Amino acid sequence: MTKFAHLATVFDGAAFGIALLWHDGSVLDSNAAYRAMYGDNSDALLRDHEAEFEELVNGKRELLEFEQRTTKGAGEESWAACAFSRVHEEDGKPYGAICMIRDITGVRESERRILHHMTHDPLTGMPNRLHFESKLREQLAKSGGTQLTALAVLMVDIDHFREINEAFGHDSGEFVVSQVGQRLGSVVSADDVVARIGTDQFGILARSHDDAQHVEGTARRVFSALAKPLELGTRTVYVSASVGIAAVSASYQRAEDVMRDAQIATRYAKSSGGSRTAIFDSEMAKRAEQRVQLSNDMRAGLERDEFYLLYQPIVTLDGGEFTGCEALLRWNHPVMGLLPPAEFIPLAEQMGMSTQIGRVVARLACRQLASWRDESGLDLRMNINVAWPDLLEAEFEQSLVAVTREYNIKPPQITLEITENIVLNPGDRATLLVERLRQLGFRICIDDFGTGYSSLHYLQRFKIDALKIDRSFVCGPEGGVASEPIIRALMTLADGFGLRVVAEGIETKRQRDILRSAGCRYGQGFFFAKPLSPEELVNKYPAAFARPAQNART
Ligand code: C2E
Ligand code: MG
Ligand code: MG
């Protein structure tokens, strides 16, 4: 074989595409690999790069490299990495260039897959937070700090997702998320971006050229899309969401700030009861700041013993005799003064501090019972309130058991009040914990009975000891009860299950009398006593706290 024949074999057999170009850009010769990528279309190689090619040929640049998309003969897309080098005539005049082309379709495809993986959520296949924020960043850069009333971030947060997960299991939780994702995808406009930005949170980047009505319309469509029930196996579940909106104004420069404000609005919508929309404003930001401050204070306050219990007696409606008490938490805030639980318990729950509070309450309660026992020799009874997140923590059970042992308190002395709007379902974590606590001897009472949604279910399922009729049924206009028929119905129900009933919030004699005639035997309320300090309680009911022997002598 001649030298020339060798070269021709190398040229044609090379894995790289090779093309020899004349100085006007036309392809003089090419090998098989090149033709496999570009076919016979000789203009395709320099498309959009003519000027640079001219510079290379004329010696104004030394190298020309780029990557480009090509269409293979059969119309199949591929990617090529092209590198050009100048070729001279023997006398030094520019001749043209030689181009080496590598097929990088495989590399590009893996890059695309990796990028997709990084920017999409595997469960729903939707874009993820990273993608969402980069789209938001793009939009902010485009707006260049000008007023953009028609750009907004809607954050859609599924209400009670943790409960759904706990009650129906993780598979069902994932099913709910993917269904919600699909529904959201179907209500947004083609211009909008919808992404899964958290476990139970979606983001919608609403863009519109008309006006802010687009945003409101989107929020409305979100609610109506979620209104349809979901079928979870044999069950039908209604899912709602809290939607926080941050309208992007010229004051925003960073995507993070828009996201933070949308999150604040979402939290506001959620803490206002969920299933609603809240639009971020500066007042909300101030409140969010205060909440952060308050939760920091709470952490410090728990260490500095700023929390204490008051005790409201639970008495017989017939004779007003003391039967036990409910421990009600108070916070002596160093600056704000005395705070009732409504001002910090919900916050503690949201901030994940509720178990810490629960531990403090259990300790204070047991210490008090032990101190009364030391003084009177009596094992008195006390109700303590348990927050929903505590029922998900095994640690709550351990610390309750440990502290009762430490103070030598018998479990039946303690009644755990669980509010009725907690969803308890057979087999879920909270239910198992309640059942275990029951087996250990603690008594269980359903608080705020009548305000939740699973009343009969509870009574059937659990060995409940007592229930408390919510104050909203007890407290009616002009010192009467809100609804005597409801009270009678609740009493019949409780009788059927053999439960002890305590009426909450009795403020007048008339209410007491109506409740008594309806068959209710126990009550609690300002008519008898407000929540009291231990000393006040002992002073008010000396006989209940006296040693039995002393009792006998008096
Ligand atoms: P709850 O368990 O239903 O407690 C009854 C609430 O009604 C108490 O409010 C009590 O002071 C109030 N109350 C009692 N009698 C009357 C009355 O005649 N009229 C009126 N208007 N109110 C009456 P408080 O102490 O502000 O507690 C509010 C809620 O905070 C409690 O409702 C309970 O759910 C929660 N809570 C209280 N202490 C604790 C605690 O230690 N841990 C947890 N997780 N929650 C607690
Ligand atoms: Mg209570
Ligand atoms: Mg209550």
Q: pLDDT (tens digit, 9 = 90+) per residue, 319-333?
A: 999 999 999 999 999
Strands 466-469 and 77-88: unpaired
Query: Which sequence spans correspond to the domains of the chain?
Result: 3-108, 120-280, 293-539
Closest alpha carbon to 384 in 418, 407, 410, 408: 418
Q: What percent of the chain has pLDDT over 70?
A: 92
Q: Do 69 and 103 meet the contact criterion of CB atoms below 8 Å apart?
A: no
Average pLDDT of the segment spanning 343-369: 93
How much is the mean pLDDT over the chain? 89
Q: What share of the chain is helix, strand, coil (3-state, %, to 5)?
A: 45, 25, 30
Is any ligand 1 atom within 6 A of the Cβ of residue 525? yes
* Smallest CA separation from ligand 1 atom 21, residue: 505
Give, for ligand 1, the residue of 298, 315, 328 to mutate: max count of ligand atoms closer than 8 Å to Cβ: 328
- CA 396 to CA 276: how far, in whole Å? 32
Give, for ligand 1, the residue of 332, 382, 385 to mutate: max count of ligand atoms closer than 8 Å to Cβ: 385
Joined together, the tokens standing for residue 133 give: 């924020």
Is 212's pLDDT higher than 70?
no
276: Cα separation from own chain's centroid: 15
Q: What percent of the chain has pLDDT over 90?
A: 60
CA 385 – ligand 3 centroid, Å:
9
- CA 33 to CA 36: how far, in whole Å? 5
Joined together, the tokens standing for residue 71 give: 């269409």
- CA 391 to CA 385: how far, in whole Å? 11
Q: What is the CATH number of domain 293-539?
A: 3.20.20.450
The reply to whether the predicted model has a pTM over 0.75 is no
Q: pLDDT (tens digit, 9 = 90+) per residue, 428-483?
A: 777 888 889 999 999 999 898 877 655 566 666 677 889 899 999 998 888 888 88
- CA 184 to CA 206: how far, in whole Å? 12
Q: Do 329 and 319 meet the contact criterion of CB atoms below 8 Å apart?
A: no
Is 419's pLDDT higher than 50?
yes
- CA 74 to CA 500: how far, in whole Å? 81
Q: Do 79 and 67 meet the contact criterion of CB atoms below 8 Å apart?
A: yes
Q: Does domain 3-108 have CATH number 3.30.450.20?
A: yes
Q: What is the pLDDT of residue 554?
A: 44
Q: pLDDT (tens digit, 9 = 90+) per residue, 110-167?
A: 988 988 999 999 999 999 999 999 999 999 888 765 554 478 999 999 998 988 887 7
List the Cα angle 315/319/323 in 5-degree steps: 30
Q: Does domain 120-280 have CATH number 3.90.25.10?
A: no
